[in-house]
Copies of this chain bind each other. A is one copy, B any other.
């Protein structure tokens, strides 16, 4: 079994022993093909790398973008609410907000209603910046379209809509 080695491209001559195969180009994945998780993982890596590169000039990573977007769309939210909504741990959100606050994109305002919590808002500077980020994110989304096709991207969003 396992003799799926359909050799193409006689690049280097199989050396001497039977141990050596072709270097990297024709390696069967066997059961891995057919696993949704594997395909999704590889795709997710690709998509994040493109996002990071496309938003590289403004130094915004996917998680930061998601936080800014949610705050922008729902000003006054508490850290707990944002963390729950995005599936981020509140401990982690603390550092994310520290960074965004240092960059003057976000403000933590002590809530009068609940003095434990902070109401999160974008600064005016943050609003302007987010507008720019959204343009770049849209460009990134076009890269996705170029990669898998417009119709496939639509279908993908539809299939995964349940994960919000």
Residues of A within 8 A of B (CB): 2, 4-5, 15-21, 23-24, 27-48, 51, 62, 66, 69-70, 72-77, 80-81, 84-85, 87, 111-114, 119, 134, 137, 140-141, 144, 147-148, 152-153, 155-157, 159-164
Contact = CB atoms under 8 A, between A and B. Distances in A.
Contact of A4 (B46, B73, B85): B73
A21 B75 CA distance: 9
Given A2-B75, A46-B163, A161-B39, A69 B19 contact: no
A156 B157 contact: no
A20 B76 contact: yes
Contacts of A156: 36, 39-40, 156, 159
Contacts of A48: 37, 41
Given A24-B85, A74-B21, A76-B19, A160 B43 contact: yes
Nearest to A152: B159
